[in-house]
A = this chain, B = another copy of it.
Amino acid sequence: MFSLSEENYLKSIYHLEAIHGKGISTNSIAKKLETKASSVTDMIKKLAEKEVLVYKKYQGVSLTKLGRKEATKIVRKHRLWEVFLVEKLNFSWDEVHDVAEQLEHIKSPKLIDELDVFLGFPKMDPHGDPIPDKDGKFQKIEKKLLSTLEENKIGICVGVNDSSSDFLKYLDKNNISLGQKIKVLSKESFDGSSTILINSKEITISKKISNNIYIQS
């Protein structure tokens, strides 16, 4: 059994590995968890003892198979709760994160699988991120960044790369949501900004924005 803190470390390392591969630095974990590197060192020693990750001094850490399995369970819980909050309790996609962050630590063998049934086995959360099934298997979703879409091509928004409240509110304001059709009208090579068509309305978005929207085309 893992403590709340241990679970948060596992989840953070899991997410960092998804971006940077194996060998996650103490510092990057500290940054993600908004704590100090020395605290991280203490905790990863403990987690190494529990065999959820491999740690060699000064070399960073990598999750073991067991560690990945544990982390996946937490991600599953987090994302299922997000679906519940949005679909059943009228939360908007920028409101769910903090609550799901708490709910993901509830321990009950039955709870999460029944929640899954209740929600109809959703395959993705409100931000378009895939929800692992009971066995930890993800459904692979074809997606690319909006910034890679060429001029005059059309894509469907299927996810976001940044789930911060600020970004999601920006998207809401501009009517960008999952399933939304987006056409790239033009791209400015100087700053990477682009003008896109949404709901027959033209808007211009920066490179930073198009780099955080996933589409399927």
A interface residues with partner B (beta carbon < 8 Å): 85, 88-91, 95, 98-99, 102-103, 106-108, 110-111, 114-115, 117-118
Pairs across A and B, CB under 8 Å, 24 listed: A85-B111, A88-B118, A89-B110, A89-B111, A89-B114, A89-B115, A89-B117, A89-B118, A90-B114, A90-B117, A91-B110, A91-B114, A95-B110, A98-B108, A99-B106, A99-B108, A99-B110, A99-B111, A102-B106, A102-B107, A102-B108, A103-B103, A103-B106, A106-B106
- Docked CA distance A45–B107 (Å): 31
Alpha-carbon separation in the docked complex, A118 to B87 (Å)? 11
A209 CB to closest chain B CB (Å) equals 28
Distance from A22 Cβ to chain B, minimum over Cβ atoms (Å): 33
Bound Cα distance A95, B90 (Å): 27
Closest to A108 in B: B99
Give chain B residues whose Cβ lies under 8 Å from the Cβ of A95: 110
A91 to B4 CA separation, bound complex (whole angstroms): 25
Q: How far is the CA of A103 from the CA of B115 in the complex (A)?
A: 14
Give A111 to B107 CA distance when docked, in angstroms: 19
Note all chain B residues with C-beta closer than 8 A to A90: 114, 117
Distance to closest chain B CB from A114 (angstroms): 4
**Which residues does chain B contribute within 8 Å of A114, judged by CB atoms?**
89-91
**How near does chain B come to A57, taking the closest CB pair, in angstroms?**
34
Residue of B nearest to A99 (CB): B108
